[in-house]
Amino acid sequence: MGRWRPDARARLQEAALTLYGERGYEKTTVAEIAERAGLTKRTFFRYFADKREVLFWGSELLEQRMVAAIEAAPASTSALGLIGAALDAAAVRFEEVREFAGLRHRIIAASPELRERELIKAMSLTGAVTRALRARGLDDTAAALAAHTGATVMHVAFEQWVDDPSRTPFQQIARDSLAQLREIASTG
Amino acid sequence: MGRWRPDARARLQEAALTLYGERGYEKTTVAEIAERAGLTKRTFFRYFADKREVLFWGSELLEQRMVAAIEAAPASTSALGLIGAALDAAAVRFEEVREFAGLRHRIIAASPELRERELIKAMSLTGAVTRALRARGLDDTAAALAAHTGATVMHVAFEQWVDDPSRTPFQQIARDSLAQLREIASTG
DNA sequence: ATGAGTGATGTCACCTGGTGTCATCACACT
DNA sequence: AGTGTGATGACACCAGGTGACATCACTCAT
């Protein structure tokens, strides 16, 4: 073993998730998280900008994958087709973290402070998707509308997926939701 | 004059707006705001739940007025017509506070922490509008879609209105934006 | 092998947001 | 005159967050 136990960041994340789950976010102190990870409060703040961010580390990865999926789609793909590709990429990521997704989601839902943070992350993601769609030739309005639509579908599908006991894949739920929305849009 | 100078809340709001504008949100302490208002930090927190909330007090009023407008619309009004009525109500409110709107908007835009708070307020508003639309007989999906659409239009129109030197009324900008969206939706 | 970095961590002091608790005191009401 | 009452002040305290500096195992050039 090296000088320090490795994976300090992962240990902090795990400790935080456990403690937030056991006592709730507000009743957990950063010092407690750090102690459980065998570190100090100061080190916690070297890895995470604040007490909330420990639950959101890795969200850039989701963003990158969705943007990459949009960039990689065939040239003829329609706007909603691009959204579909991005949602498929999100599905892959979600399945990777399914183990923690339910607990994490419940923790966030229970705290206004964490919900605020989640919202701004979602906005950031929508902005990135909008830019990726513009880069694919969509005009500003169409890109923004499509990105927001994708965000709505992702949100709805996630809620359905996250605590689904039958473990239906996210991809399937998202595709169904998107198809449903297509129908509403075309018949309304 | 009574025992205390009246309008403690308004004094705190004004002091906060001024100081946030002069030094920025993060470099202003609550103690400074309170002092400028002739009060103490403890009293600040009796009027406002936290340092951010002082900029958002009154947002329930906007919500109430928009919901009331939806409730009061003629029975035959379409979904987008209800959104239009809600936007008209918002316009009235915005013109009432136009004097402070620009500064307030710039302060919020400059601080991630304040943008988080603004987002959650917007979500709360969208939720209230969704419920009001459901109460008017729209099904869940249609209500949510219409409310989100309204939120998008309001956001876009607000950005255009808030620092417009020619002082175009919000109502006009919002109506134009909504009409534009109707066109996009019907031709797309 | 050795001595000078290097980088992750610890230590400590500090500021500020936020809260609980009790004191104060002008006013109102009896 | 006496008794609330309600807005405010005073004070102590906790926890999130930061800056500055110390530590110390490891690396690498000489």
pLDDT score recorded for residue B182:
82
pLDDT at res. B187: 66
Domain boundaries, chain A: 8-54, 58-187
Tokens linked to A159: 């809620």
Report residues 22-41 of B contacting strand C, contact meaning Cβ closer than 7 Å. Answer: 28-31, 41
The pLDDT assigned to B2 comes to 63
Please tell me the distance in Å from B119's CA to the nearest CA on chain A. Answer: 7
Residue in chain A closest to B144 (alpha carbons) equals: A152
CATH-assigned architecture of domain A58-187: Orthogonal Bundle (1.10)
- A81: which DSSP letter? H
Structure tokens at A171: 């991809």
Residue A186 pLDDT more than 90? no
Q: How far apart are CA A98 and CA A96, in angstroms?
A: 6
Q: What is the DSSP string of A118-135?
A: HHHHHHHHHHHHHHHHHH
Give me the pLDDT at residue A5, please: 84
Q: Decide which of B36 and A180 is more confident.
A: B36
Residue of A nearest to B50 (CA): A113
- Position A158 scores a pLDDT of 97
What confidence score (pLDDT) does residue A163 get? 86
A111-148 tens-digit pLDDT = 999 999 999 999 999 999 999 999 999 998 889 889 98
Q: Note the pLDDT tens digit of each residue in A22-70.
A: 999 999 999 999 999 999 999 999 999 999 999 999 999 999 999 999 9
Measured to protein CB atoms, the chain C nucleotides within 7 Å are 7-13, 16-21, 26-27
State the Cα angle at A141 between A140 and A146, rounded to 5°.
Answer: 100
Task: Report the C-alpha gap between B71 and A186 in whole angstroms.
Answer: 28
What is the dihedral sign for C-alpha B77, B83, B88, B93?
positive
Report the pLDDT value the prediction gives residue A118, as an integer from 0 to 100.
97
Class of domain B8-54: mainly alpha
pLDDT of A187: 66
Sign of the C-alpha dihedral, residues B141, B146, B152, B155?
negative
> Nearest nt (C1') to B37 (CA)?
D8
Instruction: Split chain B (188 residues) into runs of 10 and give each run's mean pLDDT.
Output: 82 98 98 98 98 97 98 96 97 97 98 96 97 95 88 93 95 93 72
A186 close contact with B: CB closer than 8 A: no
Which among A159, A157, A153, A158 has a CA at the least distance from the CA of A183?
A: A153
The answer to whether the CB atoms of A120 and B115 lie below 8 A apart is yes
Fill in the DSSP letter of residue A54: G
Q: Do A141 and B184 touch (CB under 8 A)?
A: yes
Q: Is A106 on the interface with B (CB under 8 A)?
A: no
What does the block give as tokens for A83?
């959204």
pLDDT of residue B141: 83
Q: How far is the CA of A23 from the C1' of D12 (A)?
A: 26
